[in-house]
């Protein structure tokens, strides 16, 4: 009987490793570089690009608020790719607005409160609020403890590009 039990486990491990390998390969294929796009033909008009691509949804629900905040920062960065930098922030920043984002159970933005206005470049506060709204709705928070809110700090450089502090 122990030999049968051992054989049953023996096939499970390679199957689990193969499944994990396939999942990693599928995820990594999305990161592959794509070749140049072909030039539009003269016979048909070029279609305008979408105004904003939908940000990717998180793959797994966050188990706690720390994970959720990281996923939210990634979503904010993805939804605002043209306004975000991901390298190290400079020693001197232009502005550092801090927002408290309150969510509904389904992840939609309920309210945004400004916890810290920068003394200079006050327009960066509105840039940060707009970035959060573009990134929404976020993943569901119904499984997380209330209150359904988190803070995000925006690190603005002189060129008015920002980095969510949760990604720093």
The tens-digit pLDDT sequence of the chain (168 residues) is: 555 555 554 444 444 444 444 444 444 444 444 445 445 544 444 544 444 555 555 457 889 999 999 999 999 999 999 999 999 999 999 999 999 999 999 999 999 999 999 999 999 999 999 999 999 999 999 999 999 999 999 999 999 999 999 998
Q: What is the DSSP letter of 145?
A: P
Half-sphere exposure in the Cβ direction for 13 (13 Å, CA) = 4
The residue segments making up the domain with residue 127 are 65-167
**Cα distance from N-terminal residue to C-terminal residue, the chain:** 54
CATH number for position 87: 3.30.1150
Residues in the chain: 168
In the numeric block, which tokens belong to residue 58?
Answer: 């998180």
Is residue 128 in a domain?
A: yes
pTM: 0.65
Phi, psi (deg, nearest 5) at residue 38 = -70, 150
Overall domain count for the chain: 1
Is residue 49 in a domain?
A: no
Is residue 125 in a domain?
A: yes
């Amino acid at each position: 009987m122990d030999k049968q039990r051992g054989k049953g486990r023996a096939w499970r491990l390679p199957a689990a490793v193969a499944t994990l390998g396939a999942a990693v390969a599928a995820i990594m294929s999305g990161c592959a570089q794509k070749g140049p796009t072909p030039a539009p033909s003269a016979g048909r008009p070029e279609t305008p690009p979408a105004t904003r691509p939908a940000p990717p949804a998180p793959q797994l629900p966050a188990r706690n608020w720390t994970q959720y905040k990281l996923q939210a920062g990634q979503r904010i960065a993805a939804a605002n790719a043209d306004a975000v930098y991901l390298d190290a922030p400079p020693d001197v920043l232009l502005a550092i607005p801090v927002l408290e984002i309150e969510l509904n159970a389904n992840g939609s933005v309920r309210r945004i409160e400004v916890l810290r206005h920068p003394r200079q470049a006050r327009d960066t506060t509105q840039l940060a609020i707009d970035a959060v709204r573009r990134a929404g709705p976020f993943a569901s928070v119904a499984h997380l403890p209330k209150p359904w809110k988190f803070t995000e700090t925006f690190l603005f450089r002189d060129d008015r590009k920002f980095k969510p502090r949760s990604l720093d």
